[in-house]
A = this chain, B = another copy of it.
Amino acid sequence: MSFAKLDALGRKLEALEHAQAILGADEATHMAVGGGEKRAEAMSVLAGMHHRQATAPEIDDWIAAAETESLNEEQAAALREFRRHHANLTCLPAEFVERQTTARMRCEQLWRDLRGKNDWANFLPALEGVIALVREEAQMRSEATGLDPYDALMEQYDPGNRAAEITPVFTDLKSFLRDFVPEALAVQQERLVRTPLKPLSGDYPIERQRELGLAMMAAVGFDLTHGSLAVSHHPFCGGVPSDVRITTRYRSTEFLSALMGVLHETGHALYEQNLPKEWSHWPLGKARGMAMHESQSLFVEKQLGRNPAFWQWALPEVEKHLGEAWSIDDILPHVHFVQPGLIRVDADEVTYPLHVILRYELEQELVAGRLEANDIPEAWDARMRDYLGLSTVDNFADGPMQDVHWPSGAFGYFPSYTLGAMMAAQQWSALKAERPAIDDEIATGRFDTVNEWRRAKIWSQGSRHSTPDLLERATGERLNAAHFIDHLRARYGSS
């Protein structure tokens, strides 16, 4: 049976992915500093083995034959995802992939070196090379999928996401935020004048912060028998569903940033830990995509973790572990602090979408050939002034050189962040409609209703549906910016 061959192949690929995932997490947490060169060699050989096995010529025949076999509903769903994955993997010629890998690696290395030096001129030629190849890639993916070129790029990260559906939603959101950011800032300023910010400073031993993080993880549903918390330079969620590795980083002078990082990664981890285990060796058993994954992390970080009800429960926990009593009125202004800035990854939830929309707009023009790399700094500066009132003239490092995505060739990925934020708000809103008293549960540290809802609607579904379909099945409607807008209004507005 050909489906059985795909099934067996899935187990082999899963084992290689297991090794790659654990080695990847290990590299960022426990690897000796001098171990990198040999690790890179091993990873590259493993990646080659995975690619060779996943793209073996006979797989096309197995898929075609399996489509004629009598399959149950799960197997048929699995086969659809096998086909989609396989098409994604094989629609670019090997010769092109090699050229592109070299160009991306060179550009990313240059970026690491030149960003700190604010050196756009020497970075530009490499970026131009990457963009030229992305245009070729989008064309080839477009031909293979029948999608528009930019949609064909997004399709890798979030199957079913289409610019035609996203652009109007982003346009609504942008027009709202242009007025709302000044409003939120005015509200915040008024409050700060009445009640100055209690400084977020102190002396919090890292071991105590770690214990607090572990207690919060466990409380919101992280299974500590199938995962762990470590330290790394950049927080991440890695490993495998049976052993999810999340990390954070600590500053001994304040506890909030490490804790919010732990909550964010815990959101990713919950998705991974609760995927259908019996499908773990099929593409069908994987998380749906980047936007849905981000919606799970942002659900925990923003919808739960920045919810005032959450802090009613959390503050006594903080006191228990760190020995310091904060009042709700002292902590919330930090948890909800809004400040327009140049750097996306440091942005609050109000201004963050404008960073993403800027990139979404520019990268569509870059892929379409309506914008050239050389013109990025000017276009970037114009939009930053327009959206956030900030200039990046001659400040490439904090402008178009701040992210790794473009140097590494990941065009079509940026929208996932804000789609995730909107989808999280939409999920929260649907859940709240079903369970109006959910805040009371959260205020007493009970997250089982929240998690049961998400397990049923999202986690247990694996990759059974496209991103927009999964959202619609979970919330009863297509992507709708109104939920996110309402969320921001309620939390940051002048009410």
Q: Which residues of A contact B (CB under 8 A)?
A: 11-12, 14-16, 18-19, 22-23, 26, 29-35, 37-39, 41-42, 44-46, 49, 223-228, 230, 240-244, 280
Contact = CB atoms under 8 A, between A and B. Distances in A.
B228 A38 contact: no
A11 B45 contact: yes
Counting chain B CB atoms within 10 Å of each CB, the highest count among A19, A45, A227, A242 belongs to A19
Contacts of A38: 18, 240-243, 280
A13 to B, nearest CB: 9
A32 B230 contact: no
A18 B45 CA distance: 11
Given A224-B32, A225-B33, A39 B18 contact: yes
Contact of A19 (B32, B46, B226, B241): B46
Nearest to A31: B243
Contact of A226 (B15, B32, B41, B241): B32
A37 B29 CA distance: 23
9 contacts: A11-B45, A12-B45, A19-B46, A22-B22, A31-B243, A32-B227, A34-B225, A35-B240, A38-B242
A11 B39 CA distance: 12
Contacts of A242: 32, 34-35, 37-39
A34 B239 CA distance: 13
A214 to B, nearest CB: 12
Counting chain B CB atoms within 10 Å of each CB, the highest count among A14, A44, A230, A243 belongs to A243
Number of copies of this chain that the complex holds? 2
Closest 6 CB pairs of A and B: A35-B243, A15-B45, A18-B42, A34-B225, A38-B242, A15-B42
Interface of A is mostly: helix
A41 B19 contact: no
A243 B223 CA distance: 30
Given A32-B226, A34-B225, 10 more contacts: A12-B49, A18-B38, A18-B39, A19-B42, A23-B23, A26-B26, A32-B228, A32-B244, A35-B243, A37-B242
A438 B32 CA distance: 31
A491 to B, nearest CB: 35
Nearest to A280: B38
Contacts of A30: 26, 29-30, 228, 230
A41 B45 CA distance: 20
Given A11-B45, A42-B14, A45-B11, A243 B19 contact: no
A151 to B, nearest CB: 35
Nearest to A15: B45
A226 B193 CA distance: 54
Contact of A15 (B15, B34, B41, B280): B41
A397 to B, nearest CB: 30
Contact of A35 (B29, B35, B226): B226
Contact of A34 (B14, B41, B226, B280): B226
Contacts of A225: 32-34
Contacts of A49: 12, 49
